[in-house]
Structure 1
Amino acid sequence: MTKPTIPSELRRQVSEDARARCGYCHTSARTIGEPMVIDHLVPTARGGLTVRENLWLACRRCNEFKGTLVEAADPQTGMMVPLFNPRTQSWSVHFTWSPSGTEIIGLTASGRATVIALRLNNPEIVAARTLWVQVGWHPPKE
């Protein structure tokens, strides 16, 4: 199956909706130094459509870890729950930053499951965030 082509105007709208940052880790393209990708919230492999309501920005790392996932286990309960949906849910309801500003803490079942499934605190990104905090680029302002 080939990936659907996303028209440039739709890409622009999604980028504007997402404020040019990843919907999952909230990192901006400017901070990571590479363009964001368009994420299908419900992947096309699971029947998701290439429409604005099903698209959001993601960094390559989050997009690759998400893959075709739409749900994951909450590490506290073991129950399968939907992943965080950046288009319809508020980031600050489901996540917060650690006191150091380098790790994302899941506040809800979906938030916790998303942190684990998308590896939002993998060692490489935590190391990068540590440097970003030192120069005042992180954590992002709401």
Structure 2
Amino acid sequence: MVSNYIREIVAERAKYLCEYCHSPEFINTDRFTVDHLIPQSLGGSDEVENLALCCRRCNERRYNFISGIDPETKQEVNLFNPRKQKWSEHFIWSLDCIKIVGITPIGRATCNRLDMNDERNGNGFIQKSRRLWVRAGWHPPQEDSCQESED
């Protein structure tokens, strides 16, 4: 477990957004967690460069995985790493800003592994939440834009 001081450094660096799904922390009922990019169970450290701010839903789905399957190519690839990669190079928002669309093998594998749009279980809760956030003007984050996608 990381200290509150380290957590605050990680949260400020992430602009208080989940570094995977870009949900803002202020609209969640739970404080975001600090995720180990290389899990401790696989030898990862508590060094700040190995930590990412993460909503509970992404953290639970990521678990201790560092790779996933790209549904398009069926190849195993590393999951998105916010310390080494830029979100906008791997993901876009659907035109209505409700779905995250992976645009690279890494993006697609991460969307799939983390079920970023709640499509596997069929309830779509995160899409319903995002729709409300869009109406309230809280979503998408300022640095993200919604774009046409094939989805």
Q: TM-score range by the shorter chain?
A: over 0.9
Within 2, Cα distance between the matches of 1:12 and 1:140?
A: 19
Residue ranges of structure 1 left out of the alignment (5+ in a row): none
The number of residue pairs the alignment matches comes to 138
Q: Note the aligned Cα RMSD (angstroms).
A: 0.9
Residue 124 (str. 1) matches residue 125 (str. 2):
yes
Provide the residue aligned with 2:136 in structure 1: 135
State the identity %. 43
Shift of 1:15: 1.0
- Structure 1 residue aligned with 2:14, among 14, 18, 42? 18
1:100 aligns with 2:96: yes
- CA positional deviation for 1:33: 3.3
TM-score (norm 1): 0.94
Give the secondary structure class of the aligned counterpart of 1:115.
helix
One-letter amino acid matched to 1:17: R
Deviates more, 1:117-126 or 1:7-16: 7-16
How big is the shift at 1:8? Answer: 2.2
Taking structure 2 as the reference length, the TM-score comes to: 0.88
**2:61 is the counterpart of 1:68:** no
Question: How many Å apart are 1:32 and its aligned residue?
Answer: 1.9
Once residues 95 and 72 of structure 2 are traced to their aligned partners in structure 1, the CA distance between those partners, rounded to angstroms, is 21
* Counterparts of 1:33 and 1:98, CA distance in 2: 25
Tell me, what secondary structure is at the counterpart of 1:96? strand
Runs of 4+ in 1 over 6 A off after TM superposition: none
CA distance in 1, matches of 2:136, 2:5: 34
